[in-house]
Amino acid sequence: MNSNQQNNEIEIEIDISKLKLKPQDWSYKGEGACNIVVYYNPQPSSSSSSSSSSSYHNYLKGKVLRLKKKVSSLSPTSTSTSPSTDDKDYRFVQNVMQPLIGSKYVNSGVRVSIDKQFINELNAIILGSRPQHRIHHQLDDEMTSAILIRDISLIHTADALLPSICVEIKPKCGFISTSKYISKQNIELKQHVCRYCMHQLLKLKDGSVDRISKYCPIDLYSLDRSRQLRALDSLIDCPQNNLKVFKDGVLYFTGQLGGGGTGNENGTSTLDIKSLDSLFNNINILEKEKQLLINLAQVQREYDPYDIETIYYLYCKLHNQAYQEDDVERFKDLSHLTNKEMQDIIERFLIATTAKDCSIMITFKLPLANQDIQNIDYIVGVYI
């Protein structure tokens, strides 16, 4: 049975500072290149005061906050977050990514107000839980709002005593470029090896990982069950930051780049990772929800037909930056493009990049011994 349903949208904007919510009530859950996600994990004293506080506490239970990090931007004039960019980012998810990937899978959430004190204190609280290679980018203290979203690593069913198990997969880029603009020195590699597999070699060389993962996104997106199972087996064997497992909303298993401390890669009596591997071999959630992978692959491919080499050239040209002389000949049939057309191509590439860097969340209850494994309740969603 599929229990994949959108939660009821929040109809009011919650000002965290006015609610007197403490940064200690939020715990680290995970992060990507641009955002950090924390989940509501209140201290006992925070939820036991007035009826008003209690109602807000009940409302925030099962929610996460997505907050922007202070990172560099493609735009040379953009240096920090402002209220207008907060709103732009929110509407980007709501009006662009949600229709493209599907409202069934993407919940845009709502904006909630935050202040600099909350951000700075939260930065300090979550620092010890973050992966080392991420900590140089902290939360942006110029933010005036964050996004409050349902925590889809939890599923509420009648079997309250059974743990919620959530598998988070970062599938990455699901196609191999066929762009005619790829340089001669790169075309043989780029048109035969996927982007993720190339990056594995780079990460091994720079010391980010100590071994190469056998996971290939092309297998996951193939819709071929045997290839998808091979992809999942490879993720379990070497998760890095592409696989996380949550038990009742708390990070339980991940790889060396996944954050949340060292993780538990050995399993426990309650949940054994090898048992999870076996479970995936026996349930067909990915098959039932294949439209999600189809949508993601379509957005990635259709919005990035040119390859990053072309995007870099157009970006340099648009911003009057130097580029190599031989690029003029290689991209000569793009010379007629107006600034508006170049900007549109770059913006479409950023939409594709967002689709490549999202997380798929698959949440279910562990089946009972006598339960038909194909009829378990589950939720599938996407975090942008």
Is residue 3 over pLDDT 90? Answer: no
Q: What is the pTM of this model?
A: 0.83
DSSP β-ladder status, 35-40 and 164-169: unpaired
Quote the mean pLDDT of the chain.
Answer: 83
pLDDT at 268: 36
Tokens of 120: 């700075």
Q: How far apart are CA 163 and CA 279, in angstroms?
A: 15
- For residue range 303-332, what is the model confidence (pLDDT) as tens digits? 999 999 999 999 999 999 988 878 889 999
**372 burial class (0-12, 13-18, 19+ CB within 10 angstroms)?**
exposed
Greater confidence, 308 or 368? 308
pLDDT at 290: 95
Is residue 107 over pLDDT 80? Answer: yes
* Residue-range domain boundaries for the chain: 23-151, 153-384
Is residue 61 over pLDDT 70? Answer: yes
Q: How far apart are CA 255 and CA 307, in angstroms?
A: 29
Q: How far apart are CA 195 and CA 192, in angstroms?
A: 10
Percent of the chain with pLDDT over 90: 52
Percent of the chain with pLDDT over 70: 78
Poorest-confidence range of 44-48, 91-95, 331-335? 44-48
pLDDT (average), residues 2-10: 44
**pLDDT-based confidence at residue 292 (cuts at 50, 70, 90):** very high
Helix or strand or coil: residue 114?
A: coil
pLDDT (average), residues 227-237: 92
pLDDT at 333: 94
**148 burial class (0-12, 13-18, 19+ CB within 10 angstroms)?**
buried
Helix or strand or coil: residue 205?
A: helix
Q: How far apart are CA 384 and CA 356, in angstroms?
A: 10
pLDDT (average), residues 289-308: 97
Is residue 233 over pLDDT 70? Answer: yes
Greater confidence, 114 or 366? 114
**pLDDT-based confidence at residue 273 (cuts at 50, 70, 90):** low
Homologous superfamily of the 23-151 domain (CATH): Inositol-pentakisphosphate 2-kinase, N-lobe (3.30.200.110)
**Which value, in Å, is the radius of gyration of the alpha carbons in the chain?**
22
User: Hey, how many other C-beta atoms are within 10 angstroms of the C-beta on 253?
Assistant: 24
pLDDT at 264: 47
Helix (H) or strand (E) holding 3: none
